[in-house]
Structure formats: C-alpha cells, structure tokens
Amino acid sequence: MGDYGGIGKKESVATVMAVQAWLEGEMGDSAAARKDASAALNINSAFIVKAISALAFARAGDTARAESLAGAMAKERPSDTIANVYQLPTIRAAVALDRNNPGKAIEILQPVIPYDLSAQRGMLSPYECGQAYLLVHRGTEAAAEFQKLLDHPGVVVNNVLGALAHLQLGRVYALAGDASKARAAYKEFFALWKDADPDIPILKDAKTEYAKLKWAHRARACGTRRSPERIDFSGDRGDSPPLLIHLRGDR
C-alpha cells in the first residue's frame, strides 16, 4: 500500500480508510465496505482500526470477520472500559442485526444506554437500537432512539447517522401508517442529501420508498380501492426476509 512514513501515520491512514469502509457499509455499499476495511487492516491493525473495520464488516454482511476482530480486541484489551461498554457491544449488535436477530441486538445494547451520548461513532448505539426496534415493529421505541440523534446535534455533529436518522424516522412513521409525518421525514433527509451521489444504495432505496408513499397518498385521495393499507419497503436485496421496512441497501 506504499510507504506512509512511520507507524503513527500508517495508523492515521488506516483509521481514515476504516471509517470510509464503515460509512460505505451504513449506506449499503457492502462490496466497497469489505474492500476498504480489508485495505485498512493491511495498512495497520491498531486497536481503533480493528474496531471500526469490525463495524464495517458487520454492516457489509461479513459477520465472521467482524466477530473475529471483536474477539481479537477483547483479548488485546480485556480491561478497556470503552471497548467493553461501547465498542464491542455495538459491533456485536451490528452482527445480530445483519443476522436478522433484532431481539439479540436490543438485548446487547441495553447496558450501553448510559453511554449513548459518548459521541462514539456519532451516537451509533441508539441508531442501532432504533434499527432493531424497527425490525420488530416497535415503532414508538424506534422513534425514541432515532430522535436521540436529532435532539443532540452537538454530539452527532456531521456524522452521517444524523441525516440517516431522518430517513429511519420516515420508515417508522410509514410503518405506523402516519403518511404525513413519513413524507416530511423523507423530505428532510432528501434536503440534507441533496448533493449526494445518486447511486448510493440507501438513497436509491429511500427514493423508491418515498415514491411508494406518494403513490399510496394519491391513490387514497382519489378513492382508489387498490391503495394498500401498508407499503412493502423491501428494497431490492434478494436475501432479505419479508419485512415492511428495509434498513439497508443492496449487497
């Protein structure tokens, strides 16, 4: 990967690349996430690089690699407070979400609640918890978790999860049948991402979902009998279970 001029610089470069991989995983570009996470670890395998890369692998569907890195982290720093109370639980919750086990993710994240505002990965723990509640159709709890990110912009700052929280709230409201709030949340997300690359998987999914919402609204307004009571936001992932709300983009 080239000469980066010393261990410290290599760690910095690897950390930036790992963050890029995690972002790609959150946005549904799983292939790029796996590629960049592997590249980051090839440059440097510092603890922070392992932690972020593990999240990237989990979000990109390589749960075996994520678990392997989490195991290495636990052995490397068995008494590390941040690792034990936040980093490792959020990795394990991401693994549970990828394996379609939201109940397990919720269980893992309960002890993390006191540390939700620790600014680790832009309030990742409530975001993951919100995703898990959404998957089990517990809309009230899901909305409360996503709202945490919107209520603490000084903690989230410019992390991508701040914008994605609007999208997830739109999905919560759609699940609850509140089309007006759902459309408003989607519009807020689109406004924040107005300059985003149009081929980002989660953005493409969001646009498809929003189009279905608008169609349903117009159908009801016209009295069309075929207007669905609920809309299937299933995205285009062939490996997804049948869910009303789909959380991530194509793999």
pLDDT in tens, 3-25: 555 556 999 999 999 999 999 99
Whole-angstrom CA distances from 70 to 51, 52, 87, 127 are 7, 10, 9, 20
The HSE-up count of residue 29 (CA atoms within 13 Å, CB side) is: 17
pLDDT digit string, tens, across residues 191-228? 999 999 999 999 999 999 999 998 766 656 666 555 44
Angle of helix 88-98 relative to helix 102-109, nearest 10 degrees, comes to: 170
Cβ(6)–Cβ(14) below 8 Å: no
Query: Can you tell me the distance from the alpha carbon of 219 to that of 70, in angstroms, rounded to the nearest whole number?
Result: 49
Largest Cα separation within the chain, whole Å, is 68
Enter the pTM of the model. 0.86
Residue 220 tokens read as 């009801």
Q: What amino acid is encoded at 74 in this protein?
A: A
Whether pLDDT at 113 is above 90: yes
pLDDT digit string, tens, across residues 167-199? 999 999 999 999 999 999 999 999 999 999 999
In terms of C-beta density within 10 A (0-12 exposed, 13-18 middle, 19 or more buried), how is residue 179 classed?
middle
Domain segments of the chain as ranges: 1-99
Residues with Cβ < 8 Å from 227, sequence gap 6 or more? 216, 219, 220
pLDDT digit string, tens, across residues 39-93? 999 999 999 999 999 999 999 999 999 999 999 999 999 999 999 999 999 999 9
